[in-house]
Amino acid sequence: MAGTAAAGGRTEVAPGAVHLPGWLSPERQRELVAACRAWARGPVPMRHTRLPGGGTMSARTLCLGWHWRPYRYTRTADDVNGARVAELPEWLAGLGRAAVAEAYGEDGGGYVPEAPYAPDTALVNYYGPDARMGMHQDREERSAAPVVSLSLGDSCVFRFGNPESRGRPWTDLELGSGDLFVFGGPSRLAYHGVVRIRPGTADPALGLADGGRLNITLRVTGLTG
Ligand SMILES: O=C(O)CCC(=O)C(=O)O
Ligand SMILES: [Fe+2]
């Protein structure tokens, strides 16, 4: 996929969990920020997701392909405005395929059960300076295919743990703008979260007028309909 640049090496944080710093070129990052801005206009706006306990998430989220809310996927955003979410564009699915190939090798390293990797949903999270995300598993998907995470804007401290519990062992790492993080295989159900944002670390040229951090995760839901 054109526009990607392996700038900063590759670290395997846990088995099947790979961090590639600076994977997205600055131009590709700007394109993704512009795309997020367009998606945020609708048909379903970006919103603070309501949690079953009555609270709301501090990050704001929008979905493509399938709408996620705690704790299931639907085609329509029934907890927002009832509209059907926008399609996941093929170019974004293609970027996900390139990401998996880069992280694991062309054959998916045994971590992609249904090759080629074909994500059918994207969750876009926007974090203001005080937003964070508690330790959780991504487990509403019925596929064991990896999750692809792309970060834009402000850096954050990302905590990547283990599949057994929210507790230690975990690794804290910095996810900066353009970084790719892929987790699959034995790490597919590892707990993870965003501990803190580092406000003001984004390059202003990225086009995030009010700063903040964007994260796009691509997933295979394993759902039909
Ligand atoms: O913002 C991130 O880096 C992680 C987002 C995440 O874990 C999620 O959307 O499930
Ligand atoms: Fe997650």
**pLDDT tens, 130-161?**
999 999 999 999 999 999 999 999 999 999 99
Residue 11 has pLDDT above 90, yes or no: yes
**Probe ligand 1: pick from 123, 149, 221, max atoms within 8 Å of CB?**
149
- The CA R_g of the chain, rounded to the nearest whole Å, is 16
Q: Which top CATH class is 20-40+57-219?
A: mainly beta
Query: Is the distance from CB of 102 to CB of 24 less than 8 angstroms?
Result: no
Q: Report residue 115's pLDDT band, with 50, 70 and 90 as the boundaries.
A: confident
177 CB within 6 A, ligand 1: no
Q: How much is the ipTM here?
A: 0.99
Atom nearest to 175 CA in ligand 1: 3
Tell me the pLDDT tens digit for each residue of 51-101. 999 999 999 999 999 999 999 999 999 999 999 999 999 999 999 999 999
Cα of 215 vs centre of ligand 1, distance in Å, is 7
The length of the chain in residues reads: 225
Q: Is 107 exposed, middle or buried (0-12, 13-18, 19+ CB in 10 A)?
A: exposed
Atom nearest to 193 CA in ligand 1: 7
Atom nearest to 127 CA in ligand 1: 1
Give me the residue spans of the domains in the chain: 20-40+57-219
The pTM of this model reads 0.96
Rounded CA separation 59/148 (Å) = 18
Q: What is the DSSP letter of 116?
A: S
**Nearest C-alpha to atom 10 of ligand 1 is from which residue?**
138
